[in-house]
């Protein structure tokens, strides 16, 4: 019998070490959203990056939503983006009342074609707001 090769096998800590690490979670029943490890990681990242604040989000979509909301764009503002992205990018734009405008991508690497962005800039999109 051939030996199995695990390409994606997880590395696991020692069981006792792991159970000790999660004891505070178990005891408080607080698993997410500003729990002890969430706060510790934010503090460590803030110190490591030497920045005044760090906010962790549950996923990239929520980070996009918060970033868009921080700009406080008027509703229906057009946002130039690429059609060749995860759907969540466009979803975050639309959920905030903004209008996605898709710019073509470069066929050789699939990234946004920066030579075509300028032609998409109008009075309705955010480039004119700065």
What does pTM read for this prediction?
A: 0.67
* Tokens (6 digits) for 52: 């005044």
| pLDDT confidence tier of residue 127, bands split at 50, 70 and 90 | low
Identify the pLDDT of residue 5: 80
- How far, in Å, CA of 113 to CA of 100, rounded? 16
128 vs 46: which has the higher pLDDT:
46
- Residue 62: pLDDT over 80: yes
Identify the pLDDT of residue 96: 95
- How far, in Å, CA of 100 to CA of 90, rounded? 7
- Residue 9: pLDDT over 60: yes
Identify the pLDDT of residue 113: 96
Identify the pLDDT of residue 1: 62
Alpha-carbon Rg for the chain in angstroms: 22
Please say whether the dihedral angle defined by the alpha carbons of residues 50, 54, 60 and 66, taken in this order, is positive or negative: negative
Q: pLDDT tens across 66-123, in order? A: 999 999 988 889 999 999 988 999 999 999 999 999 999 999 999 999 999 999 998 7
- How far, in Å, CA of 42 to CA of 54, rounded? 6
| pLDDT confidence tier of residue 126, bands split at 50, 70 and 90 | low
CA dihedral 49, 55, 59, 63 (to 10 degrees): -100
Rounded average pLDDT over 14-33? 91
DSSP-derived letter for residue 105 is B
């Amino acid at each position: 019998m051939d030996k199995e090769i695990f390409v994606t096998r997880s590395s696991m800590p020692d069981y006792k070490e792991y159970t000790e690490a999660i004891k505070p979670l178990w005891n408080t029943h607080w698993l997410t959203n500003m729990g002890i490890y969430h706060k510790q990681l934010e503090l460590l990242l803030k110190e490591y990056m030497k920045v005044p604040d760090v906010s962790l989000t549950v996923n990239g979509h929520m980070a996009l939503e918060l970033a868009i909301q921080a700009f406080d764009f008027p509703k229906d503002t057009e946002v130039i983006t690429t059609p060749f992205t995860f759907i969540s990018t466009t979803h975050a734009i639309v959920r905030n009342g903004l209008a996605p405008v898709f710019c073509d991508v470069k066929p050789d690497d699939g990234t946004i074609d920066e030579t075509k962005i300028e032609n998409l800039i109008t009075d309705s999109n955010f480039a004119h707001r700065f």
